[in-house]
Chain A
């Protein structure tokens, strides 16, 4: 990394362009989003339409990623899979951040008993392997995309609570916060006006990390049949189906996995890039 003194003199725009991680990560994420959005209006073939004459074809010009045992076009399924994967992950992260951030901010603002309570609750939540929680939740409420969102969202809550608490604890001792308090502002107002704006970069990085984890979790749940339900294509379900035909049609097992890896890699690079730029402490360490 460049000398921090020099880096701080550069404009934020040149820093944004200068970060390789960020450029690659942002590009991959945009491609992924574009694929998902385009799938609403156009896919090369119908993602659910069966065509037995063309079943189990290898990659070709007509079917770039080949076809599955029902003759469905893999590329079209992956595009729609991106849409499902992203929408589940967005809601899951929103659920996690929407509940976790206020809890963490509350813990940091009040300290003492409230803080202890929130932290013990998150310790408890961490005792359950995330995927196991998701499996039980989908078992209780039934499999499907909506319940997968809730299940993945629930294990995001303690993560956001911890990160928010950790990042805002120190801020409460700062002079400007003390001053705001002397001026008669309440905990909620101080949190909204002074704490959250100062930790939003930490939260933004966490959002990208949790988004990547949510994509893997959704794929995992769909793989075991508890996530997105057929005939809606999902990357995890496609991998599960591929296992049956792994001898005749290995490409079925390649492309959906590549899509997941590509998505997660892009989001991770985006997160690393954002952290390098937004968190001066990390930049100096490298």
Chain B
């Protein structure tokens, strides 16, 4: 188990480093000189050269990379070019929007998926299964930003239960902030729940056909007892895989959903930074997002090793 974790950790660090190099190189290709953008098109060439020196843009590329990644590792991401504040200070309040949004969406997705998946599997072939899976089939096809618009129409404009856009902040209490995140979280989480629900259903159906379920029933366990204590836990491996994969979708989803609801999160910051050619901020955010996807995949591997010890013993 230790060598399994160690091996995965090494590949985690290597993948993150290579990802950071790619992002850094991509940013060098991004058209638009940040110094020109900051000073304006007609700025004095000497002023631009001076700003280049100040920003370190006159240094060779590999020095700039090492300088940036060195700071990155210790949490010093550098200064934002457009906001003129440390990027770390920009991140703080925005992570407090994006992270709760992502976690809430994930929780909605998992709870709804397991509920509909297990229900459909337990009622396989009956009307309930057909209806629930039919809805899930449509749910998979609904783009989250359209669902968001429909939610705004119904729950914000017609019923006025939730705000149509903006973020109230956490200062006025947990509910204040949460209130602005509920519609975005459902818009993000429900289409994912539809995908995950389908996976859960087929995984539970597959385990329900296994011999150990028959044994459990034979020793006198009730149908629902066998379902919840044996079938569902054993069906979790494929479900966890998809949860891990969905995290990447979820992060991408927050980028668009934050735009729909005008939420001041990481996704909107990425957009603004790209629009303003704030290269350091863009490369920091993108690398952070990639690193969090890589980390989640690493955690999924660990959960695998725990759920199925055969994998961590290298039997696979």
A residues at B contact (CB < 8 Å): 120, 123-124, 126-132, 135-136, 139-140, 212, 216, 219-220, 223-224, 236, 239, 242-243, 246-247, 250, 253-254, 256-257, 260-262, 264-265, 268-269, 285
A131 contacts B141, CB within 8 Å?
no
Asked, given contacts A140-B26, A253-B153, whether A128 binds B140 with beta carbons under 8 Å apart, the answer is: no
Within 8 A of A (CB), among B91-147: 137-138, 140-143, 145-146
A242 contacts B149, CB within 8 Å?
yes
Complex Cα spacing A97 to B210, Å: 37
Q: How many residues of B contact A (CB 8 A)?
A: 46
Known pairs A219-B143, A253-B150 / 14 extra A-B pairs, C-beta < 8 Å: A127-B248, A127-B290, A127-B293, A127-B294, A128-B290, A129-B252, A129-B255, A130-B248, A131-B255, A135-B255, A139-B274, A223-B256, A260-B143, A261-B146
- Which 7 A-B residue pairings sit nearest by Cβ, starting from the closest? A257-B146, A129-B252, A131-B252, A265-B141, A264-B141, A139-B274, A127-B290
B146 contacts A239, CB within 8 Å?
yes
B82 sits at the interface (CB 8 A) = no
Interface centre among A136, A236, A247, A285 (most CB of B within 10 A): A136
How many whole Å from A269's CB to the nearest CB in chain B? 7
How many whole Å from A37's CB to the nearest CB in chain B? 22
- A120 CB contacts on chain B under 8 angstroms: 15
Complex Cα spacing A269 to B138, Å: 10
Asked, given contacts A128-B290, A129-B293, whether A269 binds B137 with beta carbons under 8 Å apart, the answer is: yes
Complex Cα spacing A220 to B38, Å: 30
How many whole Å from B249's CB to the nearest CB in chain A? 7
Asked, given contacts A140-B31, A253-B153, whether A261 binds B138 with beta carbons under 8 Å apart, the answer is: yes
B143 contacts A257, CB within 8 Å?
yes
Query: Which residue of chain B lies nearest to A269 when distances are taken between CB atoms in the complex?
Result: B137
- B249 CB contacts on chain A under 8 angstroms: 129-130
Asked, given contacts A129-B289, A139-B274, A246-B149, whether A220 binds B143 with beta carbons under 8 Å apart, the answer is: yes
